[in-house]
């Protein structure tokens, strides 16, 4: 039943939405939602399932974006999807390097080491102009998006391409967390000493979590730069973006692939709602004030979720669905 429901939703998203949606829907809501959802899935694999906290997601997104740009620039006739995969592998390799401290560090100290990755990557991309093809501005226009001769450069095309990539990698993530690798991650998260006693390879599991999470973030960075921003620049991958991705998995639900989508929807829609509400009640509002209110609301909601519902929006959704099913089961059948 669940499989057919997901298949129906994907069919609607792929076949119906591109025909009825407008440019604003694609560019301001759906495309950033998909890119952030994929980054949230990647971070959830690392933090929610493997228990390794990180605030360097935007750094690995930046590595993926710049790697894809350089592969497209310097490797002739390289297919677009191949550059996506190579960008993810590049981010995974760097993720392994920055994941090495996890073999010795935990908790706050591991968080600080991933924070160092964020600052180092942003510094390197800003100061080494080779990554930006020696462009003095450091801002590069994203390449044309074409797969097998089909152009995806339009707003709807970028959405469809993003949807296909995110759906494929989400399916892989779901299979992964239900495999032996996913069980190893959860054992390490719950108690690494006990996991080692029962034979779980602790070091390999942690590094694999960093590698796969970085791969997902790298591909999400390509979508963020190529499909959403339409430019490749280090300023598009700041620490603020890393915290937003962390907020996504906290609000959506840790250790839940679906939670990344719930949290991303909340993070994308909230600023739009605030701007509409502010315009309705107060007229034109200053963007700085709206951003400040948004940050305050997100902070309050994170505290509320950590206290009242640590499992996040996905748990509230499941609870509401079960209550609705119970209510419907008590509705008497119509008599003939």
Mean pLDDT of 260-288: 79
> 150 in a domain, yes or no?
yes
Contact between residue 42 and residue 57 where contact means Cβ atoms under 8 Å apart: yes
DSSP conformation letters of 98-152? HHGGGGT--HHHHHHHHHHHHHHHHHHHHH-GGGGTT-TT--EEPPP-EETTEE-
pLDDT at 273 over 90: no
Mean pLDDT of 306-315: 84
Query: Within its chain, how far is the Cα of 221 from the centroid?
Result: 9
Contact between residue 155 and residue 18 where contact means Cβ atoms under 8 Å apart: no
pLDDT for res 336: 39
Q: Residue 92: which region, alpha, beta or left (left: phi > 0; alpha: psi -120 to 50)? A: alpha
Mean pLDDT of 90-113: 91
Average pLDDT, the chain: 90
> 4 in a domain, yes or no?
no
Q: What band does 301 get if pLDDT is binned at 50, 70 and 90?
A: confident
Here the contacts of 73-77 (C-beta below 8 Å, separation 24 or greater) are: 73/133, 73/143
> 11 in a domain, yes or no?
no
Tell me how far apart the 2 most distant CA atoms of the chain are, in Å: 78
Least confident of 17-21, 126-130, 157-161, 259-263: 126-130
- Closest by CA to 56, choosing from 114, 97, 112, is 114
Which position has the higher pLDDT, 139 or 243? Answer: 243
Domain that holds residue 125: 24-329
In the chain, % helix, strand, coil (3-state, to 5) comes to: 80, 0, 20
pLDDT for res 1: 53
CATH number of the domain residue 215 falls in? 1.10.3470
> 323 in a domain, yes or no?
yes
Which position has the higher pLDDT, 113 or 306? Answer: 113
> 1 in a domain, yes or no?
no
> 3 in a domain, yes or no?
no
Give the tens place of pLDDT for each residue, 143-200.
889 998 999 999 999 999 999 999 999 999 999 999 999 999 999 999 988 999 999 9
> 184 in a domain, yes or no?
yes
pLDDT for res 20: 93
pTM as predicted: 0.93
pLDDT at 291 over 90: no
Partner residues linked to 150 by β-bridges: 147
pLDDT at 5 over 90: no
Give the tens place of pLDDT for each residue, 212-238.
999 999 999 999 999 999 999 988 999
What's the number of domains the chain is made of?
A: 1
> 145 in a domain, yes or no?
yes
């Amino acid at each position: 039943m669940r499989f057919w429901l997901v298949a129906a939703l994907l069919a609607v998203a792929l076949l119906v939405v591109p025909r009825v949606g407008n440019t604003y829907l694609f560019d301001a809501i759906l495309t950033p939602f998909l890119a952030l959802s994929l980054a949230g899935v990647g971070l959830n694999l690392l933090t929610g399932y493997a228990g390794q906290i990180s605030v360097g997601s935007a750094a690995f997104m930046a590595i993926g974006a710049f790697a894809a740009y350089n592969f497209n620039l310097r490797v002739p006739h390289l297919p677009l999807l191949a550059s996506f995969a190579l960008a993810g592998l590049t981010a995974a390799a760097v993720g392994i390097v920055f994941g090495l401290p996890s073999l010795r560090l935990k908790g706050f100290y591991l968080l600080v080491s991933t924070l160092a990755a964020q600052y180092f990557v942003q510094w390197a991309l800003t100061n080494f102009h080779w990554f930006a093809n020696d462009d003095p501005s450091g801002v590069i226009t994203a390449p044309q998006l074409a797969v097998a001769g089909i152009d995806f450069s339009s707003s709807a095309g970028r959405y469809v391409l993003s949807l296909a990539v995110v759906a494929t990698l989400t399916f892989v993530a779901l299979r992964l967390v239900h495999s032996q690798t996913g069980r190893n991650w959860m054992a390490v998260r719950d108690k690494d000493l006990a996991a080692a006693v029962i034979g779980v390879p602790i070091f390999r599991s942690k590094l694999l979590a960093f590698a796969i999470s970085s791969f997902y973030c790298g591909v999400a960075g390509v979508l963020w730069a190529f499909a959403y921003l339409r430019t490749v620049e280090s300023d598009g991958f700041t620490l603020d973006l890393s915290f937003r991705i962390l907020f996504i998995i906290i609000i959506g639900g840790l250790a839940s692939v679906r939670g990344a989508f719930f949290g991303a929807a909340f993070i994308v829609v909230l600023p739009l709602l605030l701007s509409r509400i502010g315009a309705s009640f107060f007229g034109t509002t200053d963007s700085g004030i709206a951003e400040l209110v948004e940050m305050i609301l997100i902070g309050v909601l994170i505290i509320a979720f950590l206290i009242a519902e640590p499992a996040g929006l996905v748990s509230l959704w499941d609870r509401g669905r079960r209550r609705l099913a119970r209510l419907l089961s008590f509705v008497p059948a119509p008599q003939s």
